[in-house]
Structure formats: structure tokens, C-alpha cells
Amino acid sequence: MKNKQLTIELTNNTDKKVIIRPTVHSATTNMHGVVEYGETSERKDETLPYLMKDLVEVPDEITISPKSSFDLKLLVTMPERMFNGMLAGGITLEEKEEA
């Protein structure tokens, strides 16, 4: 299998540490025909050969220190079988609120 590492530079300009939860989702189309890249309760289309979350590894959580940057590394694994078409998806970076 072929792998590719992608990097996203995240910057925290605040005076407090920031905890981020990255997630990966396959693109979907809502009932208005608009493409959405976040989490959805819609059923997976039967023609979709792979889910993005199965092909892209991200950590569950990352902590970015105050006034610093962090390189978020994504490991993308190419599908084992070839298929016709394209896969589209998105990465959501959600800040974890401290309790």
C-alpha cells in the first residue's frame, strides 16, 4: 500500500493552551444538493467504495501551547483496490472545551 503524509500547520495565538480534536469525514450531499464535509447522520451511499476516515489517520487530540504552532500530520493510505471516480472529504478541527 502507498502512504502519503500531509501536514497542516496550526497556530495558537492565545495566551492559553488549546486542545483540538481533528476528525475526518467523507463528503456528502444534503437534501438541497449542497456538498457537506462534516459529520452527518446520513447513510453511506452504497456506491461509495471507501470512507475517508478509513484512509486518513489523525490523532484523537492534540494540544497546542500558548503562542505557538503545531504541525498536524495526516497519514493518507491509498485504497487497496482501484475504482472509478473520486473520493472527497474534509477535516474538522474542533476545539475541546475544558470542563
Domain ranges of the chain: 3-95
Q: Which amino acid is located at 15 in the chain?
A: D
pLDDT in tens, 24-67: 999 888 888 888 888 877 677 778 889 999 999 999 999 999 99
65: cell is 501551547
Taking the mean position of all CA atoms in its chain, how far away is CA 93?
8
Q: pTM of the entire structure? A: 0.81
Distance CA(33)–CA(22), nearest Å, equals: 26
Helix, strand or coil for residue 41? coil
CB atoms closer than 10 angstroms to residue 56: 19
Is domain 3-95 classified as CATH 3.40.1350?
no
How high is the pLDDT of residue 29? 84
Distance between CA atoms of 50 and 85, rounded to whole angstroms? 11
